[in-house]
Structure 1
Amino acid sequence: MAVTMSQLLGKPGDVIEDCRKEIRLLPSNDRYRISAEILLRNGERRYFRAKSIDRKSATQEVLLFIAAVENATGETVMWRLKGEKTYHMSTNYEVSPSFIQRTKKAILGYFFDIEE
């Protein structure tokens, strides 16, 4: 099991709060925030508010936070952004292709034999 800095110094501390302090150092000037629900292995649910309003940069910020939590606890973490119905495991996150990318692939696949 991973040892946190507070455990090394002999202070009682919360791993999530320690990681949250590290992420607060990231600069952002956005007005509205996107939040993520984090589900730890022991069943505890925690919430993390990203500093970004757009989903792409908020997802990157959440992935940084998830990586910090996993390094601190040594366990895998499940998470989801606010408004999503499915959970993501660890930092394995794939962005779904946009409508334009899907349409382009379908048209090219119809006219040309494309192998992946």
Structure 2
Amino acid sequence: MEPNEPFVSSAIREVFEETGLTVSDLQLCGIKQFTHSEELYRYIVFLYRTSTFSGDLCSSDEGEVFWMERSKLVAADLAAGFAEMLPIFEDEKLSELYFYHDQDDWHYRHL
């Protein structure tokens, strides 16, 4: 986020910078948070979804981007934590993905 930048504006800008797509009509669908049992902090990510976009998909310094069928998504080599995030985007009853560190390993739960 840039100083004094609203969350939605930040998400729109980041999507454009990383994919070349201009998105609109974003809906907040949930949050992802990390916590650590030995430290007093939380890292919170706001999760937005939309089906409204324009432009041509192009890769950036952040990595290669491309379209794929939904049925092949979970079997693909995904960014760490993406498979666990996917239910938040697809199930309206879920709104939170909570990661926590316990006994030298990461765990998660959907809420």
Q: TM range, normalised to the smaller chain?
A: under 0.3
Ranked by relative contact order (alpha carbons within 8 Å, sequence separation 6 or more), the top structure is: 2
Please identify which structure carries the higher helix content: 1
TM-score, normalised by the number of residues in structure 2: 0.25
TM-score, normalised by the number of residues in structure 1: 0.25
From the CA coordinates, give the structure whose radius of gyration is larger: 1
